[in-house]
Amino acid sequence: MAAIKLMERTNYLNKDIEYIKNTKIVEYDIRSAGFTTLRYKKLLPSDIIDKLEKMPNKDRNIYIGKQIRKHPNIGEELINTLIDIRKDFAMLNDIEEADVLSIKKDALFLIKKDPKALVIREIFEFRAKDEYTSYCYLNNKEFYYSAYTEKLTVKGIGKENQELQDAYLLKDIKNILKMAEKLMPDQMFAYLKKYRSRYLTRELDKNTYRNLDTGEFSINGYKLKDLPDDLLDDIDIVYNYINYLIPLFRLLV
C-alpha cells in the first residue's frame, strides 16, 4: 500500500534509519512549488500571476512570502495543496513508507526508488534534484553524502554555518563517509583510529574544533568567533567529539 497517510506530513524524517551506505537516495522536489500552486488554485489575480511568471525566482519567492504573511489563507491553501500533490505522487508511483527517508514540504528523499510518474495533474513537476549514496543521522541533523559529486549536504546546521565549516570538520565527516563506502571493516577501523588520535591530540586545523552547531570556539563557557593560535590548547574539543564523532564511529564499525 502506498504511503498515502505519510504524505500528510509537511516535515518528516524516519529516525529509525541512522545510517545508509552505498545506496541510492534521491531528493525529488516540485519545480516552483509555491508559484505553481498559486497558478493552479488561482489564489492571486491573473495579471499578478503573469507578472510573477516573468520574475526571477528569488524575487518571485520574496513576493509570495509577503502575500502569505498578509493573507494566511494563501499559506494554508499552499500547504493543503502540496499534501494532495504528494499523495498523488505516492499513489501513482506505488511508494511505500519504507521508501521514504524524509519529507521537506515540497521535497521527498526516496531510498532505492525510481518513480516514473513525475508530472502530477499536468502542472506539478517533480524533478530529481540531488542523488546521494550515503546518509547518517547525528545529533538531530541529517548528513547526505554523494559519491558522484563528493558533496556533503547537512540538514539542520544552517547554510551559513555549513559554508563556514565545509573545509574543516564537515570535510572530515565527508571523507569518513567516503572511506566507509570503499574500505573493508578492518581498514575502516584503522582509518577511524588514526583520525580519532589526531583529533584528540589537536593536530588538526584549529577550525576543525569549532562547535558544529554554532560555528564558534568555546573556552571555559565563553564563545569566540576567532581564535588566536596560542589558545588552541584551551578550547573545548569535547562537544563535537561526543555529539558527532563518537556516534559516527559507532555507526561505521
Taking only the tens place, the pLDDT of each residue in 18-37 is 999 999 999 999 999 999 99
Note whether residue 111 is domain-resident. yes
- The reported pLDDT for the residue numbered 232 is 82
- The reported pLDDT for the residue numbered 80 is 95
The grid coordinates of residue 163 equal: 559554508
Which domain does 237 fall in, by range?
157-252
Same structural domain, 170 and 125: no
- The reported pLDDT for the residue numbered 221 is 81
Same structural domain, 125 and 185: no
Are 43 and 77 spatial neighbours (Cβ–Cβ below 8 Å)?
yes
Same structural domain, 179 and 247: yes
Note whether residue 45 is domain-resident. yes
Same structural domain, 105 and 188: no
Q: Is 90 exceeded by the pLDDT of residue 227?
A: no
- The reported pLDDT for the residue numbered 78 is 93
Note whether residue 152 is domain-resident. no
Note whether residue 145 is domain-resident. no
Same structural domain, 73 and 123: yes
Which of 93-97, 165-169, 223-227, 249-253 has the least mean pLDDT?
Answer: 223-227
Q: Is 80 exceeded by the pLDDT of residue 251?
A: yes
Across the chain, mean pLDDT equals: 93
Are 209 and 240 spatial neighbours (Cβ–Cβ below 8 Å)?
yes
Note whether residue 14 is domain-resident. yes
Average of per-residue pLDDT across 185-208 = 96
Q: Is 80 exceeded by the pLDDT of residue 246?
A: yes
Number of domains in the chain: 2
Same structural domain, 163 and 222: yes
Rounded to whole angstroms, the Cα distance separating 45 from 229 reads 60
Note whether residue 73 is domain-resident. yes
More reliable by pLDDT, 198 or 67: 198
Same structural domain, 120 and 166: no
Average of per-residue pLDDT across 59-83 = 91
Average of per-residue pLDDT across 92-117 = 96
Same structural domain, 205 and 114: no
Of 80, 97, 132, the residue at which a domain comes to its end is: 132
Which of 4-18, 88-102, 132-146, 153-167 has the least mean pLDDT?
Answer: 153-167
Cβ neighbours for 90, distance < 8 A, ≥ 6 positions apart: 2, 3, 4, 6, 7
Quote the distance between the C-alpha of residue 176 and its chain's center.
18
Same structural domain, 243 and 166: yes
Q: Is 60 exceeded by the pLDDT of residue 1?
A: no
Q: pTM for the full model?
A: 0.92
- Residues pairing with 110 in the sheet: 26, 100
Average of per-residue pLDDT across 189-199 = 98
- The reported pLDDT for the residue numbered 225 is 87
- The reported pLDDT for the residue numbered 228 is 79
E strands, the chain, in order: 11-13, 19-20, 25-30, 100-104, 107-111, 119-120, 124-132, 134-138, 141-146, 151-155, 217-219, 222-224
Note whether residue 142 is domain-resident. no
Same structural domain, 185 and 82: no
More reliable by pLDDT, 218 or 100: 100
Note whether residue 52 is domain-resident. yes
Same structural domain, 171 and 241: yes
Same structural domain, 12 and 128: yes
